[in-house]
Structure 1
């Protein structure tokens, strides 16, 4: 092989490496320039309103493990996992682990209607993210979407899709203080 061909091959390989690095950097940054949250990161803080219009902030849960669950009334897997989240929250509440649900899109009335149609009473904290800002900060576009946060505010796990009761228990055990 000629010396000039070897040089061209080296340049092409270097170019491919640079393109790959650029792609990796691009993928690690969200569309709007915000960093994509991942396991090991500090959970982005937020402040929303609950169904009664009162402030709900992630910082209110400092010192506790948090199961942060993004959901919607139109989401069947969300509807199916809600009773298990509620049951496990009743068990782990006294152990320092809380379920904080973030509802995206619908009005408080629609959320209350959703809960009234469930086969059992659900007593979970619901924060309303009508603007979708918190959902975007967590890149929680697919529902249900759950982040597991320890007492120091560090994301310990991320679960996309419906969780089983065993999944919920595993995550609650993981962040129990």
Structure 2
């Protein structure tokens, strides 16, 4: 009789543990997805700091198309994409386009050092996501990830991975405001 009771208790404990695991996995997969901005949603507003201590507020860019590029100094595809983003920004800035490059960590010295090593220093806005709150709000993973926002503040596209020159032009064409 004791052996039978012990077996029943083991089965109950095993079932409870399995249910707890299933619930935990289900919770983690569903809770954050509701908060992540998707194509067609209003772009989550942010105010981030540049390496020079200035602030960039997405709300202040309303009326323009915005290409938001999430990047990191350690990310090789990000490094390859940066010069082309600058070249196309020069072509499109007079057509109502802004580029905001969001570095996913706060490391102003490392960012300044990287930017100064480029042949063409970016003239677009380069900011830091200190606590990754913006990165999380946009569901960014992996780097680089580029999001385009139209002049009304709606997310038009989300592209994960390195953009080619052709793709950068296509993204800017989608959201230019002039």
TM-score (norm 2): 0.80
Partner SS state of residue 39, structure 1: coil
Report the equivalent of 1:13.
Answer: none
Q: How does 1:42-53 map to 2 (within 5 A)?
A: 42-53=42-53
Partner SS state of residue 166, structure 1: helix
**What do the CA deviations read for 1:89-112 (whole angstroms, capped 9, x no partner)?**
011100001111111114111101
Partner SS state of residue 158, structure 1: strand
Structure 1 stretch displaced more, 45-54 or 114-123: 114-123
Report the equivalent of 1:90.
Answer: 90
Report the equivalent of 2:63.
Answer: 63
Partner SS state of residue 122, structure 2: coil
CA distance in 2, matches of 1:106, 1:26: 26
Contact 1:51 1:108 in 2 (8 A): yes
Q: How does 1:2-13 map to 2 (within 5 A)?
A: none
Report the equivalent of 1:162.
Answer: 162
CA distance in 2, matches of 1:103, 1:148: 16
Partner SS state of residue 116, structure 1: helix
Report the equivalent of 2:120.
Answer: 120
Report the equivalent of 1:150.
Answer: 150
Q: How does 1:69-84 map to 2 (within 5 A)?
A: 69-84=69-84
Structure 2 residue 28 is matched with structure 1 residue 30: no
Structure 1's unaligned 5+ residue stretches are: 1-22
Contact 1:70 1:144 in 2 (8 A): yes
Structure 1 stretch displaced more, 68-77 or 111-120: 111-120
Structure 2's unaligned 5+ residue stretches are: 1-25
Structure with higher Rg: it is 2
CA distance in 1, matches of 2:107, 2:44: 24
Measured on the aligned residues, the alpha-carbon RMSD in Å equals 1.9
Contact 1:97 1:176 in 2 (8 A): yes
**Structure 1 residue 26 displacement after superposition:** 7.5
CA distance in 1, matches of 2:116, 2:174: 31
